[in-house]
Amino acid sequence: MRVFESVDLGIDPVTKVKRLDHYLTPSSPIHVRIATVDTTALDFDYHDGIEVGVLVSGCQERHWEGYTCDIEPGETWLVAMWEPHGWRAKVPGTGYVVVIFLPEFLDGTELADLPWLSIFATPPSQRPRITSDKQRKRMLDIAGSIREELEEDRPLWMTGLRIQVMRLLFELLRDQSLPGGARPGASLGNKLSQVMPALTMLRERGPRAVKVVEAARACNLSRTTLNRLFRESMGVSFAKFRMRAHLVHATQRLLTTDLPLDEIAKEAGFTDASHLHRSFVKHYGKTPGQFRTDTRQSESCERSGRVA
């Protein structure tokens, strides 16, 4: 089976379990994971890719900010870029298929004027859910086809995966409407294309701050228009999306270095250590110092075989 690599970011400060990030680039825009887990521990992370998943067996509990739901076999979940999310298997032997991809993976891909990324612009509680046995059967078939693409390693395997992701999202979109009753249309896909240069700039800059005016200039848009299109196509403002990127870098540096907070804040694109402190408390409910201390205590316990 084709192997997709991940990088270990250490122990999550809230759940005390490991977090993983994925190597995603324009030339390698997808990460696929097929697994069966016996542990029922809660896991939590966020990453720089869009995620779609299908539960194959067992039962899974999914978590977003302010929203939790159970997923049964044949049901799906959706996660936006840099959106914090958690999950746990409710029974041993829970199996799933996950595809994580950059927006470019499906950019410009439309069928019957349905833009795939429109459903990621809505709050988690309003995203489409599987509701019928026929849909569940089709989703399990799609999950099986994804597994076959990886196991057989045939030519044009990435195109094969793209087709299967298209099938999955089409099943979710075809009978759905966006908030307010509006049907998804091609115009939303066009909005994503318009803000794509800003997404590319955020990814290429890494932790370095990207000003709204710079992102707007890259998209040939005014600041007002960029902010409106970004919210409509990505579901959050440009500023909040940028904050997620900065927090990813700060979290990684706190886990892997002994650098002082002011240096990490500067590296990660924050104004200063106070700005990093406020953002951490808001998003994680604890300070960067508490994050680092709790994580290292958990890692020490894990290495020694003790439970924190």
- Mark whether 125 and 180 lie in a shared domain: yes
Residues 20 and 142 both lie in one domain: yes
- Pair 22, 58 in one domain: yes
Q: Is residue 184 very low, low, confident or very high in pLDDT (cuts 50, 70, 90)?
A: very low
Q: Are 73 and 127 contained in the same domain?
A: yes
Q: Are residues 173 and 28 in the same domain?
A: yes
Q: Which has more pLDDT, 99 or 207?
A: 99
From the list 29, 282, 237, the residue with the least C-alpha distance to 121 is: 237
User: Mind listing the pLDDT tens digit for each residue in 254-269?
Assistant: 877 888 999 988 888 8
pLDDT grade for 186, boundaries at 50, 70 and 90: very low
What's the number of domains the chain is made of?
A: 2
Residues 82 and 139 in one domain: yes
Supply the pTM of this predicted model: 0.69
Q: Residue 308's pLDDT is what?
A: 35
Report which of residues 192 and 219 the model is more confident about. Answer: 219
Answer yes or no: are the C-beta atoms of 192 and 107 closer than 8 Å: yes
Q: Would you say residue 84 lies in a domain?
A: yes
Q: What is the pLDDT of residues 108-125, one digit of tens each?
A: 566 545 656 667 767 788
Residue 25 neighbours by CB under 8 Å, 6+ apart: 102
* Domain shared by 256 and 284, yes or no: yes
Q: Check: CB of residue 170 under 8 Å from CB of residue 114.
A: yes
**Domain-embedded: residue 274:** yes
Q: What is the pLDDT of residue 295?
A: 66
Quick one: 292 and 237 in the same domain? Answer: yes
Q: What is the mean pLDDT of residues 141-146?
A: 96
Distance CA 192, CA 211 (A): 19
Three-class SS string for the chain? CCCCCEEEEEECCCCCCEEEEECCECCECEEEEEEEECCCCCEEECCCCEEEEEEEECCEEEEECCEEEEECCCCEEEECCCCCEEEEECCCCEEEEEEEECHHHCCCCEECCEEHHHHHHCCHHHCCCCCCHHHHHHHHHHHHHHHHHHHHCCCCHHHHHHHHHHHHHHHHHCCCCCHHHCCCCHHHHHHHHHHHHHHHHHHHHCCCCCCHHHHHHHCCCCHHHHHHHHHHHHCCCHHHHHHHHHHHHHHHHHHHCCCCHHHHHHHCCCCCHHHHHHHHHHHHCCCHHHHHHHHHHHHHHHHHCCCC
**Mean pLDDT over all residues of the chain?**
79
Domain boundary among the residues 136, 152, 184 is at 184
Domain assignment of residue 139, yes or no? yes
Q: Is residue 67 part of a domain?
A: yes
Give residue 66's pLDDT band: very low, low, confident or very high (50, 70, 90): confident
Same domain, 139 and 227: no
Tell me: do 283 and 154 sit in the same domain. Answer: no
Show the CA angle centred on residue 125, arms to residues 29 and 188, nearest 5°: 50
Q: What is the mean pLDDT of residues 162-182?
A: 74
- Is there a single domain that holds both residue 20 and residue 137? yes
Residue type at position 304: S
* Residue 304 neighbours by CB distance under 10 Å: 8
Q: Measure the CA angle with vertex 43, ends 306 and 72; round to 5°.
A: 130
Bridge partners (DSSP) listed for residue 97: 34, 54
| 58 or 4, higher pLDDT | 58
Residue 60: inside a domain, yes or no?
yes
CATH number at residue 96: 2.60.120.280
Q: What integer pLDDT is reported at residue 144 of this predicted model?
A: 96
Which residue, 168, 184, 200, sits at the end of a domain? 184
Least confidently predicted of 12-16, 159-163, 300-304: 12-16
Cβ-based burial of 138 (10 A; exposed 0-12, middle 13-18, buried ≥19): middle
My answer on whether 125 and 81 are in the same domain is yes
- Torsion, Cα 80 200 2 251, to 10 degrees, reads -60
Q: Is residue 128 part of a domain?
A: yes
308 occurs within a structural domain? no
Q: Return the CATH number at 273.
A: 1.10.10.60
- pLDDT of res. 118: 67
Domain boundary among 184, 203, 230: 184
List the domain range (segments joined by +) for residue 129. Answer: 6-184
Residue 251 pLDDT level (bands cut at 50, 70, 90): confident
Asked whether residue 1 is domain-assigned, the answer is no
Tokens of 173: 């979109």
